[in-house]
């Protein structure tokens, strides 16, 4: 009993005291969840690498409540399942609530036929999801870590992305959304840290979306689930519990393929997505304090098809562009942004476009602090851009 209490407390603190998330099927599954949450739950020490910048939701979305990113995802899926009786949520270990607790309570609420475990096989999960969508059902597939999406690469790239095109519009799997946890987490090593958006960005037919916080996670996930094209939704696992803000409780969507300037500036444009946005925000602040550089920070949000206009407008104004992502630099999505902006804004650019990214190595375990494109590397790059 004491042990049970201890676990409840842990979950409680993780889920910010929301007791709805405490309905667990058994002690065994509860323990499993807690172990996995602990394993990939950023500790205080690791949190020191960045500070979350909370956003304000559009007041027209109505009443708000505090949610972390994990709860925002849960809430979005709850709304999606409620508003669409064809919607199913499936993947490895989603039935008991998911190893990151994103699907807690949903099976109990919507039934075993709508929220269910699959065998441990990513190509099967993706293929099965495509089939559901082809038959007209809404499919929300979970891949436990983006690092393990590669067995499903063929189904996503050759099948999901090309379904509508190759059949001349007769068939499509637009109602498919694949969710996967994504990005660095402090100690995830090679296979619990990857950011594979660059691989998929080379695939016409897909949409790729990455939120920077709970408000965007809920609105963008609902848009992905309801969009008519197959979407990959990458959830920065570092933010699951560290990112907390006032999220509208109702049903709302945020437009896909729409970037957002979250900090105004006139000297340098900084572009990123996911966790890296918060690094950029901090770097912008430091650059301003230390050498008076005024940075405009843009959250790309949708990696494919991406919002060229918003970035180009900003660069036209600032004349400097820095793109930053956790993924390795060579052929990372920053390369695409850099080339496109160079074509669009050649006459406005006053310095070479800079990329501050992960190094071209696998994602290391103990060297993570040196691998990541930290705020200091960004500050250094802003300084070089300003002095060019």
Partner 1 sequence: MLSRLSRLGLPTYAAIAHASLAPIVTHYSTAETDSFRVHEFSEKYFHHRKAQFTEKMTLIDPLHAPTIPIYRVTDSTGKFVDPSQDPNFDKEFAIDVYRKMSVLEQMDKILYDAQRQGRISFYMTNFGEEASHIGSAAALQDDDLIYAQYREAGVLLWRGFSLHDFINQCYGNAKDIGKGKQMPVHYGSLEHHFVAISSPLATQIPQAVGSAYAFKRVENGRIVVVYFGEGAASEGDAHAALNFASTLRCPVIFFCRNNGYAISTPTNEQYGGDGIAGRGPGYGIKTIRVDGNDFFAVYNATKLAREVALQNEPVLIEAMTYRIGHHSTSDDSTAYRSADEVKIWNKKEHPIARFRTYLIDKGWWKEGEEIEWQKNMRKEVLTAFSEAEKVQMLGPHEMFEDVYKTKPLNLIEQQKQLDEHLQHYAEHYPLERFGMMHQKD
Where in the sequence numbering do the catalytic residues fall?
122, 192
Minimum CB separation from partner 1 for residue 5, in Å? Answer: 28
Compute the radius of gyration of the chain from its Cα atoms: 20
Cα-Cα-Cα-Cα torsion 268, 272, 274, 277, nearest 10 degrees, comes to -10
Minimum CB separation from partner 1 for residue 199, in Å? Answer: 17
Return the number of the residue (86 or 348) whose C-beta is nearest partner 1.
86
Return the number of the residue (167 or 290) whose C-beta is nearest partner 1.
167
CA dist 134 → 174, 175, 202, 387 (Å): 8, 8, 23, 54
Phi, psi of 348 (to 5 degrees): -95, -20
The conformational region for residue 80 under phi > 0 = left, psi -120 to 50 = alpha, else beta, is alpha
Which element (helix H / strand E) includes 211?
none
Phi, psi of 185 (to 5 degrees): -140, 10
Minimum CB separation from partner 1 for residue 77, in Å? Answer: 17
Return the number of the residue (57 or 140) whose C-beta is nearest partner 1.
140
Return the number of the residue (205 or 338) whose C-beta is nearest partner 1.
205
Neighbours of 108 (CB within 10 A): 14
List contacts with partner 1 (CB under 8 A).
Answer: 86, 88, 113-114, 116, 118-119, 121, 123-124, 126-137, 139, 151, 154-155, 158-159, 162-172, 174, 204-205, 207, 228-229, 257, 305, 308-309
Minimum CB separation from partner 1 for residue 207, in Å? Answer: 8
Helix (H, G, I), strand (E, B) or coil at 192: coil
Close Cβ partners of 179 (under 8 Å, ≥ 6 residues apart) = 73, 91, 102, 140, 141, 142, 143, 221, 233, 234, 235
Instruction: Please answer whether residues 101 and 181 qualify as being in contact, where contact means their C-beta atoms are separated by less than 8 angstroms.
Output: no
Return the number of the residue (92 or 368) whose C-beta is nearest partner 1.
92
Minimum CB separation from partner 1 for residue 106, in Å? Answer: 16
């Amino acid at each position: 009993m004491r042990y049970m209490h201890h676990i409840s407390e842990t979950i409680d603190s993780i889920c910010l005291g929301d007791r709805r998330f405490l309905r667990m099927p058994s002690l065994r599954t509860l323990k499993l969840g807690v172990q996995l949450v602990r394993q990939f739950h950023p500790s205080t020490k690791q949190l020191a690498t960045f500070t979350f910048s909370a956003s304000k939701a559009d007041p027209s979305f109505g009443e708000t409540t505090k949610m972390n990113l994990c709860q925002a995802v849960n809430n979005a899926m709850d709304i999606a399942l409620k508003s669409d009786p064809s919607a199913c949520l499936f993947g490895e270990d989603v039935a008991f609530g998911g190893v990151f607790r994103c699907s807690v309570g949903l099976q109990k609420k919507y039934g075993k036929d709508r929220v269910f475990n699959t065998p441990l096989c990513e190509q099967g999960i993706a293929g099965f999801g495509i089939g559901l969508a082809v038959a007209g059902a809404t499919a929300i597939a979970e891949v436990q870590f983006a690092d393990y999406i590669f067995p499903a690469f063929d189904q996503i790239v050759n099948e999901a992305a090309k379904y509508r095109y190759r059949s001349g519009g007769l068939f499509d799997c637009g109602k498919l959304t694949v969710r996967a946890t994504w990005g660095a987490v402090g100690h995830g090593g090679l296979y619990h840290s990857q950011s594979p958006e660059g691989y998929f960005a080379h695939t016409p037919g897909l949409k790729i979306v990455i939120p920077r916080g709970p408000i965007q996670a809920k609105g963008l996930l609902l848009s992905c689930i309801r969009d008519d094209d197959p979407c990959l939704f990458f959830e920065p696992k570092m933010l699951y519990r560290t990112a907390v803000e006032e999220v509208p409780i109702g049903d709302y969507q945020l437009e896909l393929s729409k970037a957002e300037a979250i900090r105004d500036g006139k000297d340098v444009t900084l572009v990123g997505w996911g966790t890296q946005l918060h690094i950029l925000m901090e770097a912008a602040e430091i650059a301003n304090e230390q050498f008076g550089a005024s940075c405009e920070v843009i959250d790309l949000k949708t990696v494919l098809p991406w919002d060229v206009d918003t970035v180009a407008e900003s660069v036209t104004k600032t004349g400097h562009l820095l793109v930053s992502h956790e993924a390795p630099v060579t052929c990372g999505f920053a390369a695409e942004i850099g080339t496109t902006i160079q074509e669009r804004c050649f006459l406005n650019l006053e310095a070479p476009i800079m990329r501050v990214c992960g190094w071209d190595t696998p994602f290391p375990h103990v060297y993570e602090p040196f691998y990541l494109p930290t705020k200091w590397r960004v500050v250094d790059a802003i300084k070089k851009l300003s002095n060019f």
